[in-house]
A and B are shown apart, each in its own frame.
Chain A
Amino acid sequence: MHEPRQKRLIMWLLAPSLVFVAVMGAFPVLSQFVLSFTEFNMKFADERGFVGLSNYMRLAGDSIFRQDLWQTFLFTVVSVGLELVLGLAVAMLLNRVRRGRTALNTAIILPWALPTVVAATMWSLIFNDRVGLVNSILGQLGAIQSPIVWLGPGLAMITCILADVWKTTPFVAIILLAGLKSVPDQYYEAAELDGAGRWQVFRYVTLPLLKPFIAVALLFRTMDAFRVFDVIWVLTGGASRTETLSIYIYKVLFRYSDMGYGSAMTVALFAIVFLLSLVLIRFMRISQEPVSE
């Protein structure tokens, strides 16, 4: 291999995106880091100043932060878990379809295409205790006596998870479907020739080849779920134990205009998610060796 030539090629391939990220991202990201060490409220110009770690100390003692962290964690685990399982099921259901392919694939992608805010507003109407479709159907089927308050204390988190799963399972399904399509037919043929049963084919052929795609889906969905905002904001505003870290950060930054504390929280959230991702990556052992020498 021509080493200097390849080095130059690598540079040309990587440079544009890295430069872009550096230019666009540096200022916002760095300013957040810097602000996190200051007392900086947009409204109180006279009280600004460098305060070292005190924002982080405050964060450590903030019971709302702890509670939101737990709620965010709960939401993420259940949501992503459901999405992976359902996404895989949907991807497999759609893999071998010939007739009706366009219709099915389009139907699957549609939930993802709907703006989150609109989808959530629709769900709040559908899950409404008096005029909602769900209670209406359940009532007519005789399954319930009095209306279920889906967005009230107790059930709110479940409803939020359902709305999120509806919207983002397509994302997982698409990625996994692309993965399924990349499995060459001859692998399946070979397995069948060897007399492997359906489950064995799935376990020993499909799953391993799908691993990198599952990994990408898992990684990005976890990162996104941990930072969930729109769905919960529209459905409950964070009430009834559904408030997540993003909602709290939003409040501190835009409502209280407390840039110092808000930046510290942003940095903290970033750190938590980053660590989580590293753990996931390690766990899935994603790093792939380059294919060509």
Chain B
Amino acid sequence: MSLNSRARTTGLWILRVGVAVVCLLPFYWLANVSLSTPSAVYKIPVDYFPDPAVTDNFRSVFETRQFPQNIWNSFVVASLTTLLTLGLGAPAAYALARLRVRHKEFVMAVFLGIAIFPAIGMVGPLYVAMARLGLINSYPALVLPYTLTSLPLAVWILTHYFGTLPGSLEDAALVDGCSPGEAFLRIILPVSTPGLFTAAALIFIFAWNEFLFALIMTSTPASRTVPVALALFAGLHELPWGTIAAATLVSIVPVLILVAVFQRQIVEGLTAGTQK
């Protein structure tokens, strides 16, 4: 490697580390706060590292509340939302991208319209509907509205992704005697894993973080999701930073695991697939 090249590589790596640092800054602060005593949080000047470091906050997160149950709820809701959204959206996106759909612009516009419609306006009517159906405090009460809001993004991303695949893929399958439906399921889908995982990641995280609907549609501690549970740590005037930080870090763990396990698919892809 030439000197120039080496300098360039080092420079790039410095940038990469810089980006990672910026991304992780609040997490570092969360970790710092979660291990501090309540009074240490507000020290002037600040402590860059907790001194003394205490684990009380973490203990209180697991002891006093139903937090682990809340994390499970969030996980289930987010997963179901992702599956349902992809299950509905991927076929639609495929049709829009690869087949001759009349009124294609109209359909895309409908999806766009739903995405644009401010969710705030929908809370009231949707609550009434869910209450009438007796679905309050159940998973569908959240999964259905979340799917409604995520569908447009999924359809748009996947439509574009399917559009970038070479046209020859289906032709090969059809020559082999597959029906167009089979071609979709057996050839296109497996090859589209990167696009699917990208969409899945975005949907999952959106559902995981949503607050307003989760607050309104759940009323018992056992049915709450993580964002609402976090809001429940706060007192009237006080903000128990330590406990909130500890709880946040704990709730990030499942997301972290998912991201780490699937990040290759989310970000990398089967580059070979596009070259068939």
Contacts and interface: CB of A to CB of B under 8 A. Distances in A.
Contacts of B87: 16
Nearest to B170: A292
Contact of A290 (B26, B98, B263): B98
Contacts of B70: none
A contact face: mostly helix, strand, loop, or mixed: helix
Interface in A89-145: 90, 93-94, 97, 100-119, 121-123, 125-126, 130-133, 136, 139-140
Contact of B110 (A21, A107, A112, A136): A21
A253 B124 contact: yes
Nearest to B110: A21
Contacts of B22: 166
B3 interface: no
Contacts of A219: 156
Contacts of B239: 121
Nearest to A97: B16
Interface residues of B, number: 107
Interface centre among A101, A121, A178 (most CB of B within 10 A): A178
B264 A102 contact: yes
B235 to A, nearest CB: 14
B177 interface: no
Given A9-B180, A107-B23, A174-B266, A14 B120 contact: no
Given A106-B260, A166-B26, 15 more contacts: A16-B87, A17-B155, A104-B16, A105-B266, A108-B19, A110-B259, A113-B256, A117-B227, A126-B26, A131-B41, A175-B157, A182-B194, A220-B153, A253-B121, A277-B116
Interface of B: 12, 15-16, 19-20, 22-27, 29-30, 33, 41-46, 87-89, 91-92, 94-101, 104-105, 107-108, 110-118, 120-122, 124-126, 129, 144-145, 147-148, 151, 153, 155-157, 159-161, 163-167, 170-171, 179-181, 184, 194-195, 198, 201-202, 205, 208-209, 211, 226-227, 230-231, 239, 241, 244, 248, 252, 255-256, 259-260, 263-264, 266-269, 271, 274-275
Q: Which 4 A-B pairs have the closest CB atoms?
A: A28-B122, A266-B121, A13-B95, A13-B91
Interface of A: 5-6, 9-10, 12-14, 16-18, 20-21, 24-25, 27-29, 31-32, 90, 93-94, 97, 100-119, 121-123, 125-126, 130-133, 136, 139-140, 166, 170-171, 174-175, 177-178, 181-182, 184-186, 212-213, 215-216, 219-220, 223, 227, 229-230, 246, 249-250, 253, 259, 262-263, 266, 269-270, 273-274, 277, 287-288, 290-293
27 contacts: A6-B99, A13-B95, A17-B91, A17-B92, A20-B147, A27-B125, A32-B117, A93-B19, A109-B201, A111-B23, A113-B209, A118-B230, A121-B244, A123-B26, A131-B42, A178-B266, A181-B268, A182-B274, A230-B211, A259-B124, A266-B118, A270-B113, A288-B160, A290-B98, A292-B98, A292-B167, A293-B100
